Structure 1
Amino acid sequence: MQFKNRPNECVTTTDGREVWLSRSVATAVCILLECEGRPYILVNQRGPGMPDFAGYWNLPCGYLDYDETTAEAAMREVWEECGVNTLELLAQATCEFFSAPWDVNSTPRGARQNVTIHHGLFARVAQLPPVSNANNEPDETTDIRWLPLSDVETLTFAFNHHERIADFLAHVEKLAGISYR
């Protein structure tokens, strides 16, 4: 048998530890809320402190830390990047994808070798939760908003997140019978 993989590389740090360079696991989160009959998706704009796609929009996303599940990482990223408490929204969710993700993408794409686990939820709320960048890394986000779904095509998204939003809407429609497409 022949495989097309490239073996992971072992690097020795200056303090003598061996670290394996391998593909990273990331999480991306779709939070879809209906407020007063109108659907909104949580998005943020990448700040100047980000290594790539500064100025582009994305869903809350990031890498797993040690000792956390993908669902915990998803909740942490939403809190850090947008200041939104996902636990409060989970209590109101019509459908949620934290107990099981709605998608796993493991296709390598050039330099971006992430395995991405997609979590999310849909809920109807009386008011949209406030957003905040108070928990951000320096210059991580420049704007955070509850974007009306009708405006998704007006923004330029990093990481094909506009396609991820469309895919998420299809999952919500399938699971909850609610269509916003």
Structure 2
Amino acid sequence: MKQKLLIATTNKGKLAEIHHFFDDLSVDILTLSDVAQDIAAPEETGDTIEANAMLKARYYAEKTGFLTLADDSGLFVDALDGWPGVKSARVGETSEVQCDTLLSELEGVSGDDRTAQFRVCLALYNPNELTFFTTFGETMGRIMEEVVESGVITAYGYNRLFFVEKDDRYVEATGKTYAEMSLQEKNSVSHRGKALIKMKYHIADITSPKHIILANGILFRGGKILINKRNDPHNPDFHGKWEFPGGAVDYGETIEENLVREVWEEAGYTVSIVAPLGKIYVNQREKGDEQLLHRYQLYIIPHLCTVESGDGVISDNEVLESRWVTVKELVEYDFIDSKERMVEITMLVEKKIKEYKL
């Protein structure tokens, strides 16, 4: 099951650009036409594109319960003191009316003074956590003196008037109006493309499966193994079950550095690593539902260790209690891992103990 993401717009041009950008994300994209109920559009009362984007994202998220992305954009013309700006979409109901109105307002303004910027704000609203994430994009250009009629690919809004000067970094995409750009070209240089790439990274971060490396220490001392009872009351599937000390590898750490640190913090012992058991275990886990789903995959790498020093003072934030048990007794405890896995781990531990004559 993938995370569902509602794109809160009925503008087919915007939808095409967003679909193209998000095609490789691990999400199921929904449009307003996919939502069962008929939702009336909200009144856009904000004084800025940011306010309107956030207003729309929250409105549709609260109506549907889905993680929702909305945007608001505007064309800001320097010679008109930023007009039409936040009111760009309300200048007229069609692209023809919008373009004709803008040309009338700029009558008598020379080419060098017809500079403008397209700006956009994307707002992502999470109705479960009541949080926003916003990104912005801006592209500089100028307003043509007449509407482009030939070579038009995307004709909505002011696309046929907004010209982007030639840029050696984007040779194929520039030196033409938005309307003459292919979808791929426009997404590479447009204001929306610049905001979408930042939003894409964020959505990937919160929805793509996380891959977490866990280093576990199987501490051996005096013929016995240390096990910890987990303190995790907000995760009842794991709370009160047994496990070996260890934790997720932090950025910049090696597995060995992480293991030594985690064992000390959790169990109160300094250890020497003897050897990895020679098996990497993989667990897949999910939290939440289709409206907000968190998926992650754990790569668990157990290591046999010997205790060098320490008083065994546990971290009561993570551990309810600790016990030293024989290798044979491991399978008698209710571990987070399955009984079958614990049988295999027991066999591997016994093998390593003999191999290293511990």
- TM-score, with structure 1 as normaliser: 0.63
Q: Does 1:33 align with 2:33?
A: no
1:44–1:81 contact (8 Å) kept in structure 2: no
Aligned CA distance change for structure 1 residues 46 and 172 (closer, same or farther; 3 Å) = closer
Q: Structure 2: how far apart are the matches of 1:149 and 1:176?
A: 10
1:108 to 264, 284, 291: 284
Q: Secondary structure at the match of 1:106?
A: strand
1:118-166 deviation digits (Å, cap 9, x = unpaired):
131254x7x9853111xx3x63211012222233233211133x55554
Q: Does 1:120 align with 2:303?
A: yes
Q: Structure 1: how far apart are the matches of 2:251 and 2:341?
A: 26
1:79 to 264, 268, 273: 264
Q: RMSD of the alignment, in Å?
A: 3.7
1:32-76 deviation digits (Å, cap 9, x = unpaired):
4251xxx21121011255534211111113222222222222222
Q: Structure 2: how far apart are the matches of 1:78 and 1:44?
A: 11
Higher relative contact order (CA 8 A, sep 6+): 1
Q: Structure 2: how far apart are the matches of 1:130 and 1:69?
A: 25
Structure 1 residues without counterparts, runs of 5 or longer = none
Q: Does 1:167 align with 2:352?
A: no
1:175 Cα deviation after fit: 5.2
Q: Structure 2: how far apart are the matches of 1:43 and 1:164?
A: 15
2:268–2:313 contact (8 Å) kept in structure 1: yes
Q: Secondary structure at the match of 2:347?
A: helix
Structure 2 residues without counterparts, runs of 5 or longer = 4-24, 28-66, 68-123, 125-130, 135-197, 288-294
Paired position in structure 1 for 2:242: 57
Give runs of ≥4 in structure 1 deviating > 4 Å.
Answer: 4-7, 11-17, 109-112, 162-165, 172-176
The structure with the larger Rg is 2
1:30–1:60 contact (8 Å) kept in structure 2: yes
Q: Structure 2: how far apart are the matches of 1:33 and 1:170?
A: 14
Aligned CA distance change for structure 1 residues 119 and 75 (closer, same or farther; 3 Å) = farther
Q: Which amino acid aligns with 1:46?
A: R
More helix by share: 2
Q: Structure 2: how far apart are the matches of 1:165 and 1:122?
A: 17
Q: Structure 2: how far apart are the matches of 1:129 and 1:146?
A: 15
2:328–2:346 contact (8 Å) kept in structure 1: no
Aligned CA distance change for structure 1 residues 31 and 23 (closer, same or farther; 3 Å) = same
